[in-house]
């Protein structure tokens, strides 16, 4: 099945609210568990960058899991960043910095990070190299890279089945978003080719019927 692009930024207020209030407990806690296992250092202390942070659930979970880290979290949607700022409790305010900016145009003031994470953003990008080039730009030797995204199913009917399996209790707008995202996602083969083209060495692993996990340490 051919890839079908979906709108890059999530800016519609209804869409933002539906996404921010959806139940992502399972995939988001799994992302953080896998990230923790990969970092394998409970007292990990450094600067983190969350690319395409949306309403900030992953950024807050990361902040909770790594209390010694500071986090820059960026998103091109003003509505998403406003939601993220409002949803973050004061305990995180000193370490969690939400930035409104579109990648790759926005220049970050920090030159490089100790860890770069991103969940569910790659499939939004018309050109996937944006993500891999931003990762390269803001990393240094030893930077940990942890990325999770959806995988494109083999057919439209498989995409519909996945929506029924995992989003049937969610509002219609979210079901439609999930369906659009599945059609916009990449295959394992395409992600491996993107990474090879970017000249980075990262492990690409299929971790569920709809998710891919990409991880590695910059040489």
Ligand X SMILES: C[S@@+](CC[C@H](N)C(=O)[O-])C[C@H]1O[C@@H](n2cnc3c(N)ncnc32)[C@H](O)[C@@H]1O
| Interface with ligand X (CB under 6 A) | 8-10, 52-54, 57-58, 74-77, 80, 102-103, 119-121, 124-125, 130
d(CA 175, CA 191): 24
Helix, strand, coil percentages, rounded to 5, for the chain = 45, 20, 40
Q: What gap in Å lies between CA 93 and CA 45, rounded to an integer?
A: 17
Which residue, 110 or 142, is less far from ligand X as judged by CB? Answer: 110
In terms of Cβ atoms closer than 10 Å to its own Cβ (0-12, 13-18, 19+), residue 113 is buried
Please, what is the minimum distance in Å from the beta carbon of residue 92 to ligand X?
16
Nearer Cβ to ligand X (96/125) = 125
Cβ proximity to ligand X: between 29 and 201 the closer is 29
Cβ nearer to ligand X, comparing 29 with 155: 29
For residue 188 the two structure tokens come to 């394992």
CB 105 within 8 A of CB 83: no
Smallest gap from Cβ 180 to ligand X, in A, equals 10
Sequence-distant (≥ 6) Cβ neighbours of residue 206 within 8 angstroms:
151, 188, 212
Closest CB to ligand X among 7 and 142? 7
Distance CA 201, CA 110 (A): 23
In the complex, least distance from residue 81 CB atom to ligand X, rounded to whole angstroms: 9
Residue 37: CB minimum distance to ligand X, A: 18
Report the nearest approach of ligand X to the CB of residue 141 (Å): 25
Coil, helix or strand for 42?
coil
C-alpha closest to that of 144 among 74, 67, 214, 66 = 214
CB of 119 to ligand X, least distance (A): 4
Kindly tell me which of 39 and 174 has the beta carbon lying closer to ligand X.
174
The residue at minimum Cβ distance from ligand X is: 54
């Amino acid at each position: 099945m051919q890839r079908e692009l979906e709108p890059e930024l999530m800016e519609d207020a209804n869409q933002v609210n539906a996404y921010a209030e959806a139940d992502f407990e399972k995939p988001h806690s799994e992302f953080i568990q896998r990230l923790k296992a990969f970092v394998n250092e409970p007292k990990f202390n450094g600067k983190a960058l969350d690319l395409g942070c949306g309403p900030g659930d992953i950024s807050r979970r990361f902040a909770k899991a790594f209390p010694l880290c500071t986090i820059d979290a960026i998103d091109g949607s003003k509505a998403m960043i406003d939601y993220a700022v409002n949803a973050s409790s004061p305990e995180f305010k000193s370490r969690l910095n939400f930035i409104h900016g579109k990648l790759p145009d926005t220049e970050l003031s920090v030159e490089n990070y100790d860890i770069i994470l991103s969940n569910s953003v790659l499939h939004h990008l018309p050109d996937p190299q944006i993500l891999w080039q931003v990762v390269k730009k803001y990393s240094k030797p030893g930077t940990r890279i942890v990325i999770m995204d959806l995988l494109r199913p083999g057919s439209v009917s498989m995409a519909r089945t996945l929506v029924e399996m995992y989003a049937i209790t969610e509002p219609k707008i979210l079901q439609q978003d999930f369906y659009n995202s599945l059609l916009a996602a990449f295959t394992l083969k395409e992600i491996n080719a993107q990474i090879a083209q970017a000249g980075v060495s990262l492990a690409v692993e299929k971790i569920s019927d709809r998710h891919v996990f990409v991880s590695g340490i910059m040489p």
